Structure 1
Amino acid sequence: MIRHIVLFKFKPGITWQEPDALAAEQSSHQVGERVPDLLHWQAGRNISRRDIAHDFAVIGLLHDQETLQRYLAHPFHQASAARWREISTWVIADIEE
């Protein structure tokens, strides 16, 4: 199993009041419903107030590298990532379980 973790940090000037941020958030929640290879999907806003914290996170569970690659290439995932690319930077980690 592979746990796919992504942390998003808004670019300067972007807040949760921005329509683009709300659209990116909504699309991330829908990834779990629209991308078939995901065994589990969680997405949500960060609640930490620490300066080093990111603004949003997604966590997915996939069977193996093959399903991870299909998830990454899925058109809905690509569209969601494009929304985040406009308003944030992000870091990822894929860990084996």
Structure 2
Amino acid sequence: MIRHLVLFKLNEGVSRDEPRVAAGARGFAELGALVPEVASWECGWNVTDRPIAYDYAINSSVADTAALGRYLEHPAHRAAVAPWAEFATWVIADYEF
């Protein structure tokens, strides 16, 4: 199995209450059910307020690297990620477990 972790940091001056950000979070909340390769899916807003903290996280898993590739190329994934480029930056980690 491959764990796919993504941490998002909202850009300076961007609030999670903005309609575009709220819509982006809804898109991610729905994404796991739309992509057949996804074995597990969790996402949500950070509940702590620390200077080093990121704002939003996705914790998901897929069967293997081939499934990860299909997930990343899936149209629903591309559509869900695209709006975030306007208001956030992110880091990822993919590891076997």
TM-score by length of 1: 0.97
Could you tell me the percent identity over the aligned residues? 43
- Residue 60 of structure 1 corresponds to 60
For 1:34-45, list aligned pairs within 5 A: 34-45=34-45
Work out the CA distance in 2 between the residues paired with 1:38 and 1:24. 19
1:24 aligns with 2:32: no
Work out the CA distance in 2 between the residues paired with 1:43 and 1:69. 20
Runs of 4+ in 1 over 4 A off after TM superposition: none
Q: Which runs of 5+ in 1 are unaligned?
A: none
Work out the CA distance in 1 between the residues paired with 2:36 and 2:29. 14
The Cα offsets for residues 17-55 of structure 1, whole Å up to 9 and x where unpaired, read as 211110110000111111110000001000111101000
Q: CA deviation at 1:12?
A: 0.9
TM-score by length of 2: 0.97
- Residue 6 of structure 1 corresponds to 6
C-alpha RMSD of matched pairs (Å): 0.6
Aligned length: 97
